[in-house]
Amino acid sequence: MKLLLNALIFLVVTDSCSAFTSSNKFGITGGISSATELYARKPFISGNWKLNPQTRDEAVALGKEIASTITPDTPDIDIALFVPYVFIESTINAVDGKLMVGAEGVSPEQKGAFTGAVSSSMVKSIGVNWALAGHSERRTLFGESDEFINGQCLKLIDEGMSVMLCIGETLAEYEQDLAGAVCAVQLKKGLAGISKEQMTNVAIAYEPVWAIGTGKVATPEVAQDVHSKCRAIIKDMYDEDVADATRILYGGSVSPESVDELMSQPDIDGALVGGASLDGTKFGRIINYQPV
Ligand code: PGA
């Protein structure tokens, strides 16, 4: 349904067509009403390879396999793979322009004595436009604070790049009905200092921690409920146009079996996929989702 509306809008709003061709240009454009923008969010399916695969050859083979699943029948969506730094260039070559390749993170620092760090300008110089920030594994295993994550977001945007800010509550927080409150804090702290105009370079990934890597995907109803809360928070922080234009992806055990129903929810604009993005067939099916 969303895709059908997208197609209609594409035909009707001809002078805005360029906005549909590039994710970072997509967003608030003059002359389009809020109602149109609500349905004009371009879906975004992305994979997060984390600490995988183990060799460059495997990364190249996986990148090629995933790229081969993109056909003329694939929905008109943005597709990206977030991959380990060392595989970025080989993966860019392997996918041959069929999808975007992003970094799993960047340093909030630009240069200097920060052993082991990688800056936004470094990844930009090898063709990267997108990076993740705020993934729960980075928050918990690497101790990245909201302030650090905000620094990453600001640095990427400063560089003219785009950021996918990951947010989400733990199981204990979910059970205490705190999902909305946790997302509000993470959104407000993560996006501090980012202007309304700069929000065109931001996508949000709502990833409940209890669903990541557990096989326990949130039900479409639960995910939709939190996504609509997140959109309301963004409206509160900015305005309705920004809220309508910002893409909010769901992440956490997304699979070929769950993607169709998730993508049919009005406020779910895409998916951030971990485990299933390491399997070309599974991720190919997720890219080629079929809204119900
Ligand atoms: P998962 O990971 O799909 O394996 O649950 C999602 C993520 O961590 O982004």
Query: Mean pLDDT per 10-residue run, the chain (292 residues)?
Result: 42 33 30 45 98 98 98 96 98 98 98 98 98 98 98 98 98 97 98 98 98 95 98 98 98 98 98 98 98 90
62: left (phi over 0), alpha (psi -120 to 50) or beta: alpha
What's at 217, amino acid-wise? V
Position 168 in a domain: yes
Encoding tokens for residue 203? 């996508």
Probe residue for ligand 1, chosen from 44, 45, 46, 48 as the CB with the greatest number of ligand atoms within 8 Å:
48
**Sequence-ordered strand ranges (E) for 64-184:** 78-83, 100-103, 130-133, 162-167
Chain-centroid distance, C-alpha 208: 14
What's at 231, amino acid-wise? R
Residues with CB under 6 A from ligand 1: 48, 207, 212-213, 251-254, 272-276
Output the CA 208–ligand 1 centroid distance in Å.
Answer: 10
Position 95 in a domain: yes
Report the DSSP pairing between strands 270-273 and 44-48. parallel
- What pLDDT shows up at residue 205? 98
Position 269 in a domain: yes
Residue 233's domain spans which residues? 43-287
- What pLDDT shows up at residue 148? 98
Atom of ligand 1 nearest to the CA of 166: 9
User: Using an 8 Å Cβ cutoff, are 284 and 69 in contact?
Assistant: yes
User: Using an 8 Å Cβ cutoff, are 170 and 145 in contact?
Assistant: no
Encoding tokens for residue 101? 């390749």
Helix or strand or coil: residue 232? helix
Probe residue for ligand 1, chosen from 141, 253, 258 as the CB with the greatest number of ligand atoms within 8 Å:
253
CATH number at residue 78: 3.20.20.70
Output the CA 45–ligand 1 centroid distance in Å.
Answer: 12
- What pLDDT shows up at residue 11? 37
Output the CA 254–ligand 1 centroid distance in Å.
Answer: 7
Residue 48 main-chain phi, psi, to 5 deg? -125, 105
Position 261 in a domain: yes
Output the CA 50–ligand 1 centroid distance in Å.
Answer: 9
Alpha carbon dihedral 272, 274, 276, 277, in 10-degree steps, equals 80
Nearest to 108 by CA among 78, 147, 135: 147
Position 8 in a domain: no
What is the rounded CA–CA span in Å between residue 42 and residue 76? 8
| Atom 1 of ligand 1, nearest CA residue | 274
| Atom 6 of ligand 1, nearest CA residue | 274
Query: Facing residues of 291 across strands?
Result: none
| Atom 3 of ligand 1, nearest CA residue | 274
Output the CA 51–ligand 1 centroid distance in Å.
Answer: 12
Q: Residue holding tokens 């996929």? A: 273
- Residues serving a catalytic function are 135, 207
What is the rounded CA–CA span in Å between residue 201 and residue 194? 10
Q: Residue holding tokens 């990934």? A: 205
- What pLDDT shows up at residue 40? 79
Atom of ligand 1 nearest to the CA of 253: 5
| Number of structural domains in the chain | 1
What is the rounded CA–CA span in Å between residue 247 and residue 243? 9
